[in-house]
Amino acid sequence: MPWPQELRMLKKVRHHCRIEYWLAGLLFAGAAAMLIYALLTFLAAPFSWLLPWRLPAALMTAGAGVAAIWRTLPGDVEIARRLDRDLASQERVQTLVENSGGQGVILQELRRETKTFFSRRQPKYRLDKKRFIPPALLTGAAAVILILSIVFTPRLAQSLALRQELLEQQQEAAEKIEEIIQLLPENPLGEELAAELEALKEEALRLTEPSEFETLLRETLELLEAGGEQAEAVESALAELLASMEMSPEELAQAAADPEFAEQLAEALNNLAQALPQNISLAETLGKLAENPSAADAGQWQQVQEQLAGLDPAAFRESLSKAAQAAGLTGNRPGGQGSGSGNSEPGSGEGQGSGNGEGQGSGNGEGQGSGNGEGQGPGNGQGQGSGSGQGQGGQGSGQGQGAGAGTGSAVPSPSQYVYIPGEGEVILAGKGEAGEYTLRELLPNNPGLVDDYADFFSGYRRQALSTLGRSQIPRPLADYVRSYFEAIAPQGGK
Amino acid sequence: MDLQLIDKLGRVKEEIGRAMVGQQEVVDLTLTALLAGGHVLLEGVPGLGKTLLARTLAQVLDISYNRIQFTPDLMPSDITGTNLIRAGRDEFEFHPGPVFASLVLADEINRATPKTQSALLESMQEGRVTVFGETHDLPRPFFVIATQNPLEMEGTYPLPEAQLDRFLFKVLVPYPSLEELREIVTLTTGTSQVEIQPLMTGPEILAVNRLAREVPVAEKVLEYALKILVATHPGNALATPGVRQYVQVGASPRGIQSIILSARVTALLAGRFNVSFADIEKVSLPALRHRLFLNFEAQGSGISPDAIIAEILAGTERG
Ligand SMILES: Nc1ncnc2c1ncn2[C@@H]1O[C@H](COP(=O)(O)OP(=O)(O)O)[C@@H](O)[C@H]1O
Ligand SMILES: [Mg+2]
């Protein structure tokens, strides 16, 4: 339907209405395009391949918007209604447009009368400001979102990358520990350590700060070291015990009747029981046996002998150093972790040896001894053992004695012990004239404090972190707890 | 030429105004109803000029006029007429009653019995009268102006709802203002007599009615009227809270016919050739107020149909 001839004078106003509609529509289309651009910018934080598609997508959206405006462009009747409203023409225009093809006296009159109506008052275009409010608001909001997306996306991407890195770091640490666990032998010593390492592995998956990983690795190393120490202790106690028990179970049962031997046996048994981790059953068995060795029968002795054979501290120790190497821990061992108890006497070691002699009828005895030296600390103790055997006619029973010589400088430098929680110096209140003194001053004379604290710290921390992992507490609070532990962590020579 | 009639309409109004002081709305609506071919129920206390208006209209339009005073003893045949035997002949001859006039004023219609009322209302509806099996056409045009007293008095028979529906408009006649009263006194108690000039004829009225039916109604304007009508139906989604609470039965389709037809005449009377939203709004009240039947709650709380229609008009969007 063409615009009625009689309404020629309204053509200009009609044109303005169309332009107004276009403008409002373009605002909408622009807002949609900006929103799409912003959306893709945000999405590009994890999916960076989206970046080059932003502009094409925004342009396509704008194009679709223009097409939509074109399709929904108001028709003549709609514009006529709008004009009737604006011009207070009492529905003349829409009636005329709706009946533009019609005939009849009244329609003719309507055309004539409408013409006179508009000849009396000039039709004036009034901008429909209200129509621009929603698109203008939307466009403004879209622009803000667009700016935000451009400003914040790099940071978002960065934090996503950091998060990814953290996950990888957690995974890596856990894998490292798992590797160590796999290398441990399947005996009570190995299993005991494996359980502790397992706990560390779980902890690794909960860490958030790089410094925490450092602490964790340090703890792992400490565990390994402690394992090594224990293995050494077990090894020497075991050698001593085995030396005493070098006979058949029946003979052993008989020999134990001798109170002197029984006492010797009880001491050796107790030594090994002390050296073993307390919570393994062998330690308990040995402890019980030591209470009254003479009461044990041959069967019990045989059982003990079998169990002792299963304990292979040397292999365990070896696997520990292998594990530490395999996990690449030895190379980057955090410095200055002075753990160890050293003898304060320089240059003296204690050696224990057990020797087996084999004798031959010729009367020549050959003895072999193996000795262990103790001496730890920054100085390494070395033990050497020498055994001498005696042979008796055709039978090779030998006894060996070993003497070990240990070397090492057993006094650690004070700085290696000094840990300073956090940044500052810890002031301890003293008594009498001494007044206040610092931990730094205290430590050289009380090196054991460090070990205690390190043990205390790692247990405390593990407990706290595993509790954090189990409970639902807000992240900032969890971080707060973590930072607390970082602050009180024993520090090496940093 | 038909169109000159439309110019005459303005002069008709002026001429009525010479005899009738004020009551512009009543005059307009009554004239509108007559030109639309509908009947009017005027409600007002006695003495407000209802009879004067009917008589004046008959004079200006130059049509036959009868006034029937309704009383309890009025019989149907007193209205319609009856068959009488003519002296000297042995056949019945129909003797037409007062309803046979182009403009019938049924004064105080609610004072007659329902039977008598319905005799008038049936002839109003059908445009003819049946007596002893014989039908007699009423003159064309045929208009009834009925009046009733708003006070429910002893011995009155309120018009049943179905009968009310037959009136195009129900118009309330208000009291004149002080100024109007002054004018009325001057006009009627002096020596001069107002001579009313006949300006139109019966056939011309019918022609105006035909023209009015041609007046176009825009889509949105019709939609507006329809929305108003359905809003009177308590079950409809467009019903206002007042309708839901107080209306028992809403307006029938006769309501929308009345609105559109009278709005067309209103446009013509205003010298326009299309129906506007304002035309619809103007006729909605007289066309609908007697078609809403309110429940007891409304009667108890003094709610009038006018208040409910006003609520509907305020709540109905144009376009
Ligand atoms: N609006 C009016 N204009 C002129 N005269 C009026 C008007 N209202 C009342 N009158 C006077 O009052 C008289 C009584 O009016 P009438 O038409 O008989 O009243 P109704 O029929 O309503 O009872 C009229 O004859 C007239 O003289
Ligand atoms: Mg009267």
Buried b (16+ CB within 10 A) or exposed e, A74-99: eebbebbbbbbbbbebbbbbbbbbbb
Report the residue among B175, B178, B184 best suited for mutation to probe ligand 1: largest number of ligand atoms under 8 A from its CB: B184
Q: Which positions ≥6 away from B43 have C-beta within 8 Å?
A: B147, B148, B149, B150, B170, B171, B172, B173
Between the CA of B81 and the centroid of ligand 1 the distance, in Å, is: 29
Atom of ligand 1 nearest to the CA of B173: 22
CB-nearest partner of A95 from B2, B216, B271 = B216
**Tokens, residue A34:** 């900006």
Give the number of beta-carbon pairs within 8 Å between A and B. Answer: 55
Residues A20, A129: Cα–Cα separation, whole Å: 10
Residues comprising chain A, all counted: 494
Q: A54 touching B, CB under 8 A?
A: no
Q: B225 touching A, CB under 8 A?
A: no
Our CA-based measurement puts residue A161 at a distance from the nearest CA of chain B, in whole angstroms, of 57
Residues A488, A466: Cα–Cα separation, whole Å: 18
Which residues of chain B make contact with A96, given a CB cutoff of 8 A?
Answer: 274
Q: What is the pLDDT of residue A403?
A: 40
Indicate yes or no: CB of A95 within 8 angstroms of CB of B2: no
Q: Are A353 and A401 in contact, with CB atoms under 8 Å apart?
A: yes
Indicate which of B274, B276, B281, B317 best probes the interface with A, i.e. most A CBs within 10 Å of its own CB: B274
> What is the number of the ligand closest to the CA of B46?
1
Query: What is the arithmetic mean of pLDDT over B14-20?
Result: 90
Q: Is residue B256 in contact with ligand 1, taking CB distance under 6 Å?
A: no
Which residue's alpha carbon is nearest to atom 5 within ligand 1? Answer: B184
Q: A115 touching B, CB under 8 A?
A: no
Which residue's alpha carbon is nearest to atom 27 within ligand 1? Answer: B188
Indicate yes or no: CB of B273 within 8 angstroms of CB of A107: yes
Write down the pTM of the prediction: 0.60
Residues of chain A with pLDDT under 50: 331-420, 422-423, 493-494
Atom of ligand 1 nearest to the CA of B107: 21
Q: A105 touching B, CB under 8 A?
A: yes
Q: B272 touching A, CB under 8 A?
A: yes
Q: Is residue B77 in contact with ligand 1, taking CB distance under 6 Å?
A: no
Between the CA of B53 and the centroid of ligand 1 the distance, in Å, is: 8
Q: Is residue B176 in contact with ligand 1, taking CB distance under 6 Å?
A: yes
Indicate which of B3, B4, B273, B279 best probes the interface with A, i.e. most A CBs within 10 Å of its own CB: B273
What confidence tier does B313 reach under pLDDT thresholds 50, 70, 90? very high
> Nearest to residue A242, comparing CAs of A197, A186, A184, A308?
A308
Our CA-based measurement puts residue A66 at a distance from the nearest CA of chain B, in whole angstroms, of 27
Between the CA of B147 and the centroid of ligand 1 the distance, in Å, is: 13
Q: Are B126 and B135 in contact, with CB atoms under 8 Å apart?
A: no
Report the residue among B16, B20, B48 best suited for mutation to probe ligand 1: largest number of ligand atoms under 8 A from its CB: B48
CB-nearest partner of B319 from A81, A95, A113 = A81
Indicate yes or no: CB of A91 within 8 angstroms of CB of B211: no
> Nearest to residue A190, comparing CAs of A320, A369, A7?
A320
Q: What is the pLDDT of residue B52?
A: 92
**Tokens, residue B123:** 């002839």
> Nearest to residue B171, comparing CAs of B202, B189, B148, B198?
B148
Our CA-based measurement puts residue A86 at a distance from the nearest CA of chain B, in whole angstroms, of 13
Task: Give per-residue pLDDT as tens, A174-221.
Answer: 888 888 888 887 777 787 888 888 888 888 887 777 777 877 887 888
β-strand partners of A359: A365
> What is the number of the ligand closest to the CA of B177?
1
**Tokens, residue B66:** 């009868």
Indicate yes or no: CB of B2 within 8 angstroms of CB of A105: yes
More confident residue, A50 or B272: B272
> Nearest to residue A372, comparing CAs of A346, A350, A348, A400?
A350
Binding-face residues of B in 193-212 toward A, CB within 8 A: 211
Q: What is the pLDDT of residue B214?
A: 92
CA dihedral A480, A486, A488, A493 (to 10 degrees): -160
Q: Are A106 and A78 in contact, with CB atoms under 8 Å apart?
A: no
Atom of ligand 1 nearest to the CA of B23: 1
In chain B, which residue's Cα lies nearest the Cα of A112? B273
Q: What is the pLDDT of residue A367?
A: 38
Q: What is the pLDDT of residue A410?
A: 39
Between the CA of A94 and the centroid of ligand 2 the distance, in Å, is: 45
Q: Is residue B145 in contact with ligand 1, taking CB distance under 6 Å?
A: no
**Tokens, residue A359:** 């004798």
More confident residue, A359 or B107: B107
Query: What is the arithmetic mean of pLDDT over B22-44?
Result: 93
Q: Is residue B55 in contact with ligand 1, taking CB distance under 6 Å?
A: no
Query: What is the arithmetic mean of pLDDT over B214-222?
Result: 94
Indicate yes or no: CB of A96 within 8 angstroms of CB of B214: no
**Tokens, residue A123:** 């039709």
ipTM: 0.85
Residues B201, B207: Cα–Cα separation, whole Å: 10
Which residues of chain A make contact with B264, given a CB cutoff of 8 A?
Answer: none
Q: Which positions ≥6 away from B314 have C-beta within 8 Å?
A: none
Task: Give per-residue pLDDT as tens, B35-50.
Answer: 999 999 999 988 899 9
Q: What is the pLDDT of residue A392?
A: 42
**Tokens, residue A53:** 């598609």
Atom of ligand 1 nearest to the CA of B52: 17
Q: Is residue B21 in contact with ligand 1, taking CB distance under 6 Å?
A: yes
Q: What is the pLDDT of residue A432?
A: 57
Q: Are A368 and A387 in contact, with CB atoms under 8 Å apart?
A: yes
Atom of ligand 1 nearest to the CA of B180: 1
